[in-house]
Chain A
Amino acid sequence: MTDIATAVAAHPFFAGLDPRLIARIVPLTQPVEHPTGAWIARVGTSADQFLLVTDGRAGVEIASADRDPLIVATVHAGEVVGWSWFVEPHEWHFDVVALEHVRALTIDAPALRAACAADHELGYQLGTRLTRVIASRLGATRHQLVDVYGRAR
């Protein structure tokens, strides 16, 4: 296996994925690095990359003109940055910034979507895994909304 194939197979997001499907993903994948402070994604721009973090820490950030930017989640090694690339209109809904030097695998999102359309087993596997990520973050968001550390009402 190439280094990239090894890295893709080793990433927790793809744990247990059939090697045949890993082989479809590998040609679409490249290593990438984002130095501290660099933008990984900007809200409203095209989500044309699927990023799997292998080292470092990224922050999902909300900004508006009337307040300082607020980080609402951090993404760490072994996790993925977002699902906007998978869901129409394929635009980022949040800014993502490298809070520490980020090393990642980046997958060509349009090509991966086409591969999913051509191979429904690949599409099902990615859809299932992304749903798990979405469900986990939705659960976390609900608990943040409840403000569990605030006073009981």
Chain B
Amino acid sequence: MAALADLAAGTLVEPMQPEPYEVIARVVDTADVVTLTLSPRGRLLPDTLPGQFMMLWAFGVGEIPISISGVGTNGTIALTVRSVGAVSAAVVRSEIGAVLGLRGPYGTAWPVAEGAGRDVIVVAGGLGLAPLRLAIDALAARGPLAPSRLTVVIGSREPAQLFYPIDLQRWTAAGAIVLVTVDAADRAWTGSVGTATALIERLTEPHDLAFVCGPEIMMTTGARALIASGTPADRLYVSLERNMHCGIGHCGRCQLGPHLLCRDGAVVRWPDVAELLEVRER
């Protein structure tokens, strides 16, 4: 009946229909990654939560799932995209004024409110920082929901591949402990060199709550290191990607064991997926 009412009111939402969004800003993050700010040219999509994703259309090419890396005024949304295939390449090539399609937001969110008064660690590897960006913003904001301590560990291949350098400074200024490590560097680099997991192992104190996002190898080893240092496994969350296609739990392409990750994820509790990540898929 709600659909009929929506139809009568002209507010019926077709879940597979993208809304037109215009590129109003384009930041080149690295050689193959850009962050696009998109502004609605049609219906405003619902508010997003940290960790959710959008289905992004490059019209005439195809559709891909992309994590939301920022929200702004008047419904603007930031998406950070790496060129890895035909659709993402078309998106990355989009210039200011181009119109892309969005539907969403979809999926679960980082449980930021669980961090209130707790010692929180956020671990991001490579482009895994994008889905965590809004969560870190929320955790770094001073207020009644602020954590007692916020540690942000960021791993990257090399200094030139680090994302959102201004955000790193902003989070540090807000009181977060921001630790960055790269796989290799020259002497100009003032941070650590080594894996994110090695950096976690250096932090000997346990944390109350952990959010981890990055390559699955990094998430697996990082989660184990966090648990070994005393972080409770049931307060450890990771963000998983599979082949999200419909975004609404119908097509099953993003299935991981009993989970449809577009609906039950991308943010999931570590104990719910730890064993599934050990299963070889190819």
Contacts and interface: CB of A to CB of B under 8 A. Distances in A.
A131 interface: no
A144 B195 contact: yes
B66 to A, nearest CB: 16
Nearest to B192: A74
Interface stretch (B19-27, B44-52, B134-142, B155-163): B155-163
A54 to B, nearest CB: 14
B252 interface: no
A73 B186 contact: no
A70 B158 CA distance: 11
A144 to B, nearest CB: 5
A64 interface: no
Q: Considering residues B127, B190, B214, B215, which has the most beta carbons from chain A within 10 angstroms of its beta carbon?
A: B215
B95 interface: no
A143 B187 contact: no
B197 A76 contact: no
B184 interface: yes
B214 to A, nearest CB: 7
A99 B187 CA distance: 7
Interface string B156-196: 11000100000000000000000000011111011011110
Interface residues of A, number: 27
Nearest to A148: B215
Contact of A76 (B183, B192, B214): B192
Contacts of A72: 184, 193
A66 interface: no
Interface string A127-153: 000000000100110011011111110
Interface string A50-94: 000000010110000000111111101011000000000000000
> Interface on chain A toward B: helix, strand, loop, or mixed SS?
mixed
Given A71-B189, A148-B217, A140 B198 contact: yes
A122 interface: no
A73 B193 contact: yes
A143 to B, nearest CB: 5
A148 B197 contact: no
B157 A150 contact: yes
Contacts of B193: 59-60, 71-74
Interface string B190-233: 10111101100110000000000011011001000000000000
B126 interface: yes
A79 B202 CA distance: 9
Contacts of A147: 157, 183
B186 A149 contact: no
B187 A148 contact: no
Given A74-B192, A136-B201, 20 more contacts: A60-B193, A69-B187, A70-B184, A71-B186, A73-B194, A74-B194, A97-B187, A99-B190, A140-B195, A140-B197, A144-B194, A144-B195, A147-B183, A148-B214, A148-B217, A149-B125, A149-B155, A149-B183, A149-B214, A152-B215
Rank and list the top 3 A-B pairs by shortest CB-CB distance, nearest first. A149-B126, A148-B215, A149-B157
